[in-house]
A = this chain, B = another copy of it.
Amino acid sequence: MIIQIEQFIKPKEKEIILSAINKIGYKTTEVKTQKGIYLVCIGKKEFDIRYIGSLDGVEDVHRVSEAYKLVSRKWKVNASEIDLGDGVKIGENNLTLMAGPCSIESEEQVEKIVSHLVENKVKIMRGGVFKPRSSPYAFRGMGLEGLKMFNRVCKKNGIKIITEVMQVSQIDDMIDYVDVFQIGARNSQNFNLLDALGKVDKPVLIKRGMSGTIDELLQSAEYIFSNGNEKLMLCERGIRTYETAYRNTFDINAIPILKEKTHLPIIADPSHGIGIREHVPMIALAAMMAGADGVIYEIHEKPEEAASDGQQTLNFDESKQLINRLNNNYLLK
């Protein structure tokens, strides 16, 4: 059960509500986010929920039987929208595009991509400065200095930034330079990182784990939300299967199912989802058609020369064409 209570509830009213829940034998977690105060109550006894609804100070109350509660669409029927400022909003009312290189490599590289984005009206740039790599001997990204440069060039041009955070200790250093924190597939169940990102006021995009279930992804989001941050979006990026004809199996089914189960925006990552440059646009279009609220994909001036992931990266012409096709079909959909 989730109870949303009034922002300026009187202490006496709150006490009465908590005592009523206590009597039913439910355990309560109080969650205060940027947008409201919620009581998440967990227990098994049957009772008449209307009684709770009738108490003073209660704005809304719902039963939610899933393992995830606050992120469930049973609780919040209307889709959430995340406002990045300057008119950039992520949600059901428009198609959000995010593009950029796998790794931030140089100021020149960022500038060229920013120009491409500005030209094509894309408002958000992706790009990694801390790179998770299977091998300890591989390039691990430009780090914090790279992020500051990335931020400088983007701000100058009105572009928002999404980039991956890999550990708790990076959050404070990064927070002033990013618009959206990204949690990578390998950290999708790094619960300490989730807890910590729940305590800051900055939007977070959570990627599904390598072979994470849809339910686990929703519970990871619940970690962040229940710590106080409800500016969340989820990202389908392909799962690990037996098929070897491509990099990951983009789980197109996950998109309508997530849209049904949660009010959070759903973003598709076709670049990791198939991993083959010439097929990325097909998967992007398919994902949009299946209900994705946005698409995040990799671009580079010269994909052949990219420091990482070049085989799944579009060049500017391919990107421009994709943007047009996405926008045209989105209107008709």
Q: Which residues of A contact B (CB under 8 A)?
A: 27, 29, 40, 42, 67-69, 132-137, 166-169, 186-187, 189-195, 209-216, 219, 222-223, 226-227, 239-246, 249-257, 260, 273-274, 276, 278-279, 282-283, 285-291, 325, 328-329, 332-333
B-side contacts of A219, CB under 8 Å: 134-136
Give the docked Cα–Cα distance between A241 and B243 (Å).
9
Additional A-B contact list (7), CB under 8 Å, known A40-B137, A239-B241, A255-B282: A27-B137, A167-B167, A167-B193, A187-B190, A211-B242, A240-B242, A241-B242
Q: Knowing A186-B189, A249-B249, A250-B252 are in contact, say whether A282-B273 is a contact too (CB < 8 A).
A: no
Inter-subunit contact B253/A283 (CB<8 Å): yes
Partner of A289, one of B167, B243, B253, B289: B289
A252: min CB distance to chain B, Å: 4
B-side contacts of A282, CB under 8 Å: 255-256, 289-291
Give the docked Cα–Cα distance between A320 and B197 (Å).
45
B-side contacts of A254, CB under 8 Å: 243, 245
Give the docked Cα–Cα distance between A169 and B245 (Å).
35
Q: CB-nearest residue of chain B relative to A281?
A: B256
Give the docked Cα–Cα distance between A250 and B133 (Å).
26
Inter-subunit contact A257/B241 (CB<8 Å): no
A141: min CB distance to chain B, Å: 11
Q: CB-nearest residue of chain B relative to A251?
A: B249
Inter-subunit contact A249/B253 (CB<8 Å): yes
Q: Knowing A135-B67, A328-B332 are in contact, say whether A166-B192 is a contact too (CB < 8 A).
A: yes
Give the docked Cα–Cα distance between A19 and B241 (Å).
45
A180: min CB distance to chain B, Å: 20
Q: CB-nearest residue of chain B relative to A273?
A: B253
A-B contact pairs, 19 of them (CB 8 A): A27-B137, A136-B195, A136-B226, A166-B192, A167-B168, A167-B192, A186-B189, A211-B242, A239-B241, A239-B249, A240-B242, A245-B253, A245-B257, A246-B257, A252-B252, A252-B283, A253-B283, A256-B282, A285-B290
Q: Knowing A67-B135, A287-B286, A289-B289 are in contact, say whether A243-B213 is a contact too (CB < 8 A).
A: yes
